[in-house]
Amino acid sequence: MAFNDTMRSFMDKMKLPDFTTMDWKGSTEGLRQAFYKASRSVESDVPELAEISNLIVDGADGPLKARYYAPLAAGVGPAPAILFFHGGGFVLGDIDSHDVICRRLAASSRCRVLSIEYRLAPENKFPTAHEDAAAAWRWATTRGDILGFDPDRIAVAGDSAGGNLAAYIAQEMNRTGGPMPAYQLLLYPLVQFVDIRTKKMSFQEGGFFISPNLFDYFRDSYIADEVDRMDPRVSPLFAEDDDFAGLPPAHFVLCGWDPLKDEGKAYAAKLAAHGVPVTIREHSGMVHGFMNMTAISKPARDAIADAGIVVGRALGRLEPDLS
């Protein structure tokens, strides 16, 4: 059965709404509940880790929830790590909805992972999530005594809106001279928050977790002023050239059936044009958000493992691929 059909069968079985066609205005809580139900994986083969613990980290205006993952044989002392931001259009998601992704990333990369639960829209407008992300980054790079992180070997990572936050941190540290991430793992990232409605999309690219209607809802929930849609903090694709030069290496995971795929490729090309080492892994038969579907898809589990291996090698935690 094709992944598209598997997804449809899963959504029918779970009595989930059609994310591609519904108008979610005024239904934020219902959307959050549906997303949580769809993304909450219950699996028998989740990798075993040495430690999983909940933490409180510094946000821009107060404490934020976070979850810490240490792989088996993590050892003691400073070690490579991944700071992870969940997706969900800045409206959905939390450390629970992306718990399995983080477990699998920690196991496959052999790196410690810290997942951040930043504040969501529409309760918190732009640039709240970005300010929380920057604050969490600064906290993580200075609390090696608690986390066991090597501050010189921390990658930023995230899916969709979380990939936006990861890309933002790299650019923001470039702009401000702050501590630069060692690596970027961008999982089907949102790199422009202006429009996808004018794009020509195939039926499959309408996606299960993103569509023009849902894109507009997420954007308008987070961005109060239309002029801010082009702000490079939330649309890093449109940043100045100087913001790209000197950024850390990046690995992109893109989906064949994803309306955000072309922008992801454009962002990767812009990085490469400025001398940034870039690799891309495109999963041609997958939809936006597919890494939340590990409960029904072995290819989704394999894709997370593959991404983790790429990061683990980049950070020196795993042996390089010499083949």
d(CA 296, CA 76): 35
The count of C-alpha atoms lying within 13 angstroms of the C-alpha of 266, restricted to the half-sphere facing its C-beta, is 13
d(CA 231, CA 227): 8
pLDDT digits (tens, 9 = 90+) for 183-224: 999 999 999 999 998 766 554 455 556 888 889 999 999 999
The enclosing H or E element of 222 equals: helix 212-222
pLDDT digits (tens, 9 = 90+) for 213-250: 889 999 999 999 999 999 999 999 999 999 999 999 99
d(CA 174, CA 78): 24
Name the active-site residue from 160, 211, 235, 297. 160
Known catalytic residue at 160: yes
pLDDT of residue 5: 55
pLDDT of residue 31: 83
- Give the DSSP letter string of 11-31: HHHTT---TTT---TT-HHHH
pLDDT of residue 101: 97
Name the active-site residue from 94, 99, 159, 258. 258
Strand 79-85 to strand 112-117: parallel, antiparallel, or no bridges (unpaired)?
A: parallel
**CATH class as words, domain 3-314:** alpha beta
Known catalytic residue at 94: no
Strand 250-257 to strand 278-287: parallel, antiparallel, or no bridges (unpaired)?
A: parallel
Cβ(232)–Cβ(239) under 8 Å? yes
Tens of pLDDT, residue by residue, the chain (323 residues)? 454 555 555 445 444 455 555 555 557 888 888 787 777 666 778 999 999 999 999 999 999 999 999 999 888 889 999 999 999 999 999 999 999 999 999 999 999 999 999 999 999 999 999 999 999 999 999 998 899 999 999 999 999 999 999 999 999 999 999 999 999 999 999 999 999 987 665 544 555 568 888 899 999 999 999 999 999 999 999 999 999 999 999 999 999 999 999 999 999 999 999 999 999 999 999 999 999 989 888 999 999 999 999 999 999 999 988 76
**Cα torsion angle, 7, 46, 57, 189, sign:** negative
pLDDT of residue 34: 79
pLDDT of residue 9: 52
The count of C-alpha atoms lying within 13 angstroms of the C-alpha of 182, restricted to the half-sphere facing its C-beta, is 20
pTM equals: 0.91
* Prior bond of 127 cis (ω within 30°): yes
For residue 159 the two structure tokens come to: 């899916």
Known catalytic residue at 220: no
d(CA 81, CA 290): 23
Cβ(20)–Cβ(207) under 8 Å? yes
C-alpha to C-alpha distances, 159 to 1, 90, 252, nearest whole angstrom: 25, 11, 10
DSSP type of residue 267: H
